[in-house]
Amino acid sequence: MTARPASAESPEAAASRLTGLPAVRARPLSGALTEVVLDGGRVVVVKHDEKPGAIRAEAAGLRWLTATGTVRVPVVHGHDERRLVIDRVTTGRADADAATRFGRDLATLHACGAPAFGAAPPGGPEDAYIGLAPLRNTPGDDWPHWYAEHRVLPYLRRAVDEGTVRPAEAALIEGVCARVPDVAGPAEPPARLHGDLWSGNVLWGADGHVRLIDPAAHGGHRETDLAMLRLFGCPHLDRVLDGYQETAPLADGWQDRVGLHQLFPLLVHTVLFGRGYAEQAVAAARSVPQG
């Protein structure tokens, strides 16, 4: 008898196989996500992703964040190369007190550190993803040069090749890359980043605690996570920042560096979604101080 390919396996069958518990019922949430109720009442989400290494990277990232005992993330119940089973998060209202707690927890997470800038989580692949875009976790010791070479320029080059960023705009962004050592602020050790911290990956739990999902976790600069939160409008961001600053104050001038740190996610979005984000990336580059 021929085994059924993993890609053809139903989400409830995958949930049962990976957790060891019978599935009672299933409900699609999106094309890639299915809610499954297991025997005993636990509710999980089965995520399906065909990109090579994507599930392994996500599972490793969630476990790396969990190991700190700081920010809350869904429990990983099992995974293979194409399926990930995690707890379903019951969401509620975005709350100011929860935002302050989240800011404190995020600061503590960052302080747990990483072996190097660009370091992948233990067990995670070097070739990972941020959303649908490839993300290479190449370690480096010097943040300004690592950030320019491995977080900005790869996406800029692709956007130029595809005609989404114009040559004069590329020259402007390349000029910022050359100035990163002069405008990056005081040197900091590698932080343990969520790595894709836009508001859609911040779930406000019904229990009053924030959960983070879909990490692109790696070692990086803590201001990058915070700049991404600002980029797409996190609820109660002022309270998140208050909690963060109470726990681990940011270096002077961090507000002036927001555009520098937003270049990375904006260029990722340029590659994935087109010209509108290219214009935002150019605006972010123009906001970077001259040094």
Tell whether the model's pLDDT for residue 117 goes beyond 90: yes
The answer to whether the CB of 80 falls within 8 A of the CB of 18 is: yes
180 vs 224: CA distance, rounded Å = 14
Q: Which option is the CATH number for 90-291: 3.40.50.150, 3.40.50.720, 3.90.1200.10, 3.20.20.60?
A: 3.90.1200.10
Tell whether the model's pLDDT for residue 215 goes beyond 90: yes
**Helix (H) / strand (E) containing 24:** strand 23-28
Tell whether the model's pLDDT for residue 59 goes beyond 60: yes
Q: Which option is the CATH number for 1-88: 3.40.1360.10, 3.30.200.20, 2.40.50.140, 3.40.50.970?
A: 3.30.200.20
More confident residue, 42 or 291: 42
What pLDDT digit, counting tens, does each position of 238-262 carry?
999 999 999 999 999 999 999 999 9
Tell whether the model's pLDDT for residue 4 goes beyond 80: no
Domain ranges of the chain: 1-88, 90-291
Tell whether the model's pLDDT for residue 231 goes beyond 70: yes
Average pLDDT over residues 120-136: 96
The answer to whether the CB of 232 falls within 8 A of the CB of 124 is: no
What pLDDT digit, counting tens, does each position of 140-187 carry?
999 999 999 999 999 999 999 999 999 999 999 999 999 999 999 999
188 vs 221: CA distance, rounded Å = 7
Mean residue pLDDT across the chain: 95
The answer to whether the CB of 151 falls within 8 A of the CB of 262 is: no
What is the model's pLDDT at position 179?
Answer: 97
Which residues are catalytic, by number?
A: 196
Tell whether the model's pLDDT for residue 229 goes beyond 70: yes
Q: Confidence class of residue 291 from pLDDT cuts 50, 70 and 90?
A: confident
More confident residue, 7 or 199: 199
What is the model's pLDDT at position 3?
Answer: 41
Q: Confidence class of residue 7 from pLDDT cuts 50, 70 and 90?
A: low
124 vs 190: CA distance, rounded Å = 17
Residue with tokens 């229990």: 207
Tell whether the model's pLDDT for residue 1 goes beyond 50: no
